[in-house]
Structure 1
Amino acid sequence: MSFLLVLLLLLVQAHSYAKAAQVVVLAQAGKPVTIPRKPWGKTENIHVNWEFNDTILISRNPTASSQKDVPLNWQGRISLTTDFSLHISNVTAIDFGIFKCDQHELVNSISDTYKLYQVTMSTLAVLLSGDDLSLSCEINREGFNLVRPTVRWLGPDDKTYQGQSTENKYTLKVPKISSIHHGNWICEVQYGVNSLLNAMTNVVIVDLAPSSPDPIYAADSSSNFALPCSFSSKISWSLVNATGVKGGSWSFISADSSKSISPLLKLHPNPSPVWKIPNGTSSYLMESEVKNQDLSVKISKVSIMHRGQFTCSLDLKKKSLSQSVLVEVLQVISSAGKPIYEGSKLNLTCTLGHPMPPDLEVTWKAPTGSSLPNLSPHPTELSIPGVRLKDSGQWACELKKNATVLATATIRLKIEKAPVNTWLVVGIFVGLLVLILLAVIAVIIICRRRKVMKYTRRKRKFCCCKNPQPKGFYKT
């Protein structure tokens, strides 16, 4: 009798776990959700069955090595978490209903019921920079009345926004949006005890990336130099085209003039976007297809004539978008003409066509076999007092900012031996002949003079008698 009483008490205890009130769970179609299992019993011993509309979805049996098959329309979408909660990876419209979690441990059991309510976020067409943004977040009325949630809005710019509410519907308006508002907007719904749903919608904003305040640098005579132009965010061309693309252009304003040059390229959006040179004109920009939504183009060969501002424009049905880039061209100028003779003085100047900004510096690179004096820092003008044959070759000037090389301009020098002047040789030869002739004439004159002086000098003559008388006094 006592045994039966104990058994009855155990049964009463087992069934004393009354059905708890229905637990509200909010979810968004197309997004994941986890329905939490109520902690109960010893985790390693409990049997767990998850049901939907009285159909078993998935089970956990600590003594079985295999699991029951998941219903076909749930396969690949549901799984158990480490604590045996039910995880749905992709909620569909037919999933909003009643779920039940049955837990068993020996003769004890517990059953919890959950109801999944839908939260709906507005979906938007593609917006343009400068448009007004309107969003809505609506909670199923029955679920809303049960939990009375609190809602706030989170933007892709990491800011919190306060909207308006009308019963179970929450709205948000943001005027004059820009590229920073492109991305996922979250309607954060907090309800129940530590329950949170982040309902989400993706807002697509078409805008070109902002123009860089810094110029880009190119070397004179460099080839295929890219001029950047892109959208502020990754977006497909079909979405861009949905805004009503009419065309686009690339134009140029020279640094030496404020006058804009007529379009160098024009955008043909259909059937696939391509940059083309306008009919009857020539352009140093290269025709190209628009790939991966990149509107960049290339200069075929850079020259100092390309110093200035290039502007990329995209013409839409409602407005035009533009992005500008300032191009600086680095050039090395030689003070000597061609050819350059050995021993002559040479100045090399590394220039942008205007005084070098203080945050930029240059580094000279001499050709193999040549050498540079110890310079710190390197000047923009390099002076070589007497060039040598081994100075021939390519000289390079690197333009740097914070040790980063921005551009490298080069110049090739050809040093030659100074040629011998023919007339100079003739002059020297004639001069030597004249000197020799003068020397010969001088020698002749001197010789003749000596000869004349020799013969013109008179000598004493003595009379030779046949019978000379002896010296002394004679009487006549």
Structure 2
Amino acid sequence: MKEFIQSLLILSALLNSTTGAVVMAYHRVGDRITLLMPMDGTDKNTIYVYWYFGEPETNILVISLNPYGNQGFGTDERWKGRVSMTDYSLVIKGIQEQDFTETFTCVIKQDLKTIATKKYKLTKITVSVKPETSVLAGESLSLACKVQSPQNNAQLQIHWLNPQREKRANGPTPGDLTVDKVTGRHNGEWTCVVTSGGKESYAKISVTVLDLSPAPLYPQYTSLSRSTRLNIPCSIPAPLSWKNFKEKGLQGGHWSFVPRLSPGDRQRLFNLSVEDKLTWKVEQERGLSASDPEKKELSLSKKGVTEADRGEYVCALEFKNGVTLERSIHVEVLEILSSSGLEIPAGQQVNLTCSLGQPLHADLQVKWIPPKSWCLPSLGPDPHPARLTIPEVVDEDCRRWGCELWRNKTQLTSADITLKIAPMSVWLLVTICGATVIFILLLILTVILLRRRRQRKMTPRHPKHKFCRCKNPKPKGFHRS
């Protein structure tokens, strides 16, 4: 029974063997490859495996393995140190040009009988990139993938995968690809995929794109709070070095600033010297400090931010061929504005506004932080208003107020303000006293006038005597009639 099952296994191996068929394997010079042997259920403990370069009749043995696990090597020096067997499969490291000249044949024997063979033909893939060294962001990149003397050319398909493993369409010629205006996203490993008979082979090539690190997707938010520090990022990506940039003709760099209120006024802040050692030269003093460029850091920082720091900061590297690499970083400064200043008379209404100096974007929210002893009033339909009204200022209101700026669940920055009850000045006291005296005097005068009028009404009236002048007056003048 055991011999019958063994015979069936041998028959199955014979029926499934690939005798006469050649499997195409597409590789690059220098690749490490693995050529699989046809097992098909054959008992490994009873077989002998031989790998030949060319036909078995040529007797150019590469490597062999017996049922006892002993490996044998051919006498040809070309394979020394380059071949091994893993689970009866042939492993070759460092493919050479000569390995493409003949087929590799796997022969499986059992009881001195050949039960299966399998042939592989290595076909060379050549991939190239222009420029060969590196390419500046904004320039064009050309990739080429060529297959040497392909068989079944009608069934052969070639396409490229970018570093994000996305398929890119070929140009007019299969295997040729041109990328216009490359960016840092194109930096990395590109893969040429050769498809034949439903099987894929891969050839990879590295592309170096010189560019600055990506700028933040959103503005940099800071505030007028003393503890807040403004950071404006700009750097060289980790895989790159200044040597790569100098080889492409780096001649300098700079930082510039465009104020929000004066968009036409571009101010040069720093200049980068690349002579012997990379150093910054200050062009305009704005309280900013620059990072050490030798460490591939070009960032700026500042403590003590003001409203004048709002605007666009531009980090740039300049090259001899006229190409300039730039990154723009927008800076927004948060502050709390009081409609009545910081010192407010008691009982007066005041409006507090959490402001960036312009209307807030729809994706931004404001959260007010009142004094601990104070409760926010009903905020109406908008739960996060940028403007808050205190109807009548009292002593409890005159403390530290804060507002936080949020995007979704991320706090961007915060600002605070301290309100005070305004003390009465000497002139205000004199004015109040003067007004009080005048009011009292007017009140006394009013009382006197009212009393006199009342007395007049209570005094009885006497008839008035009439006097006339006679036509013939007496010498003494008037007389009573």
* TM-score, reference length from structure 1: 0.69
Distance 1:288 1:187 in 2: 40
> Does structure 2 retain, via aligned residues, the 8 Å contact 1:151–1:187?
no
Considering only CA atoms, is the larger Rg found in Structure 1 or Structure 2? 1
Aligned to 2:193: 188
1:372/1:202 Cα in 2 relative to 1: closer, same or farther (>3 Å)? same
Contact 1:33 1:88 in 2 (8 A): yes
Question: How far apart, CA to CA, are the structure 2 residues paired with 1:268 and 1:219?
Answer: 32
Superimposed CA distance per residue, residues 239-277 of structure 1 (whole angstroms, 9 cap, x where no aligned partner)? 233221111111111111133343212223355545442
Residues 396 and 410 of structure 1 are in contact (CA less than 8 Å); yes or no, is this contact kept in structure 2?
yes
Measure the CA separation in 1 of the matches of 2:307 and 2:349.
26
Aligned to 1:108: 113
Deviations 1:65-89 (A, max 9, x none): x8789999876985526xx433446
One-letter amino acid of the counterpart of residue 199, structure 1: A
Take 1:283 and 1:93, find their aligned partners in 2: how far apart are those partners? Answer: 62
CA shift at 1:237, angstroms? 3.3
SS of residue in 2 equivalent to 1:122: strand
Tell me the residue number matched to 2:243. Answer: 238
Distance (whole Å) between structure 1 residues aligned to residue 228 and residue 281 of structure 2: 19
Give, in whole Å, the separation in 1 of the partners of 2:169 and 2:429.
Answer: 91
1:32 deviates by 3.7
In the alignment, which residue of structure 1 is the partner of 2:288? 285
* Inter-CA distance 223–194: structure 2 relative to 1 (3 Å threshold): same
- Report the Cα distance in structure 1 between the residues aligned to 2:104 and 2:72, rounded to whole angstroms: 18
**What is the correspondence of 1:49-448 to structure 2 with a 5 Å cutoff?**
49=49, 51=51, 54=60, 56-57=62-63, 59=65, 61=67, 63-64=68-69, 80=86, 84-88=88-92, 91=95, 96=100, 99-109=104-114, 110-123=116-129, 124-141=132-149, 144=150, 150-156=156-162, 158-163=166-171, 172-174=176-178, 176-179=180-183, 180-191=185-196, 193-208=197-212, 214-221=218-225, 223-230=228-235, 235-269=240-274, 271=276, 273-278=278-283, 281-290=284-293, 293-318=296-321, 319-337=323-341, 339=343, 343-375=347-379, 376-391=382-397, 393-414=399-420
Amino acid at match of 2:137: S
Aligned to 1:26: 26
Q: Structure 2: which 5+ residue stretches go unaligned?
A: 1-9, 54-59, 442-481
Q: Deviations over 1:298-340 (max 9, x none)?
A: 2343211011111111101221122222222111123444555
Distance 1:420 1:295 in 2: 55
Tell me, yes or no, if the aligned pair for 2:212 and 2:327 is still in contact at 8 Å.
yes
- Structure 2 vs 1, CA of residues 392 and 67 (structure 1 numbering), >3 Å: closer, same or farther? farther
Contact 2:169–2:177 (Cα < 8 Å) also in 1: no
Scaled by the length of structure 2, the TM-score of the pair is 0.69
CA distance in structure 1 between the partners assigned to 2:72 and 2:421 by the alignment = 88
In structure 1, stretches of 5+ residues that fail to align are: 1-9, 436-476
When residues 380 and 19 of structure 1 are mapped into structure 2, their CA distance, relative to the original with a 3 A threshold, is closer
CA distance in 2 between partners of 1:72 and 1:272 (Å):
49
Q: 1: distance between equivalents of 2:290 and 2:276?
A: 16
Kept in 2, the 8 Å contact 1:49–1:101? The answer is yes
- Give the RMSD, CA atoms, in angstroms: 4.4
Residue 454 of structure 1 aligns with which residue?
A: none
Q: Measured at CA, do residues 290 and 204 of structure 1 come closer, stay the same or move farther in structure 2, by a change above 3 Å?
A: same
Partner of 1:4: none
Structure 1 vs Structure 2: percent identity of aligned residues?
28
Provide the secondary structure at the position in 1 that maps to 2:385.
Answer: coil
| Pairwise CA distance, 1:45 | 3.5
Give, as a single letter, the amino acid of the residue that structure 1 aligns with 2:264.
K
* CA deviation string 1:169-199 (max 9, x = no partner): x6525252322544333332233x4443112
For this pair of structures, how many residues does the alignment match?
407
Measured at CA, do residues 78 and 398 of structure 1 come closer, stay the same or move farther in structure 2, by a change above 3 Å? Answer: farther
Letter in 1 for 2:125: V
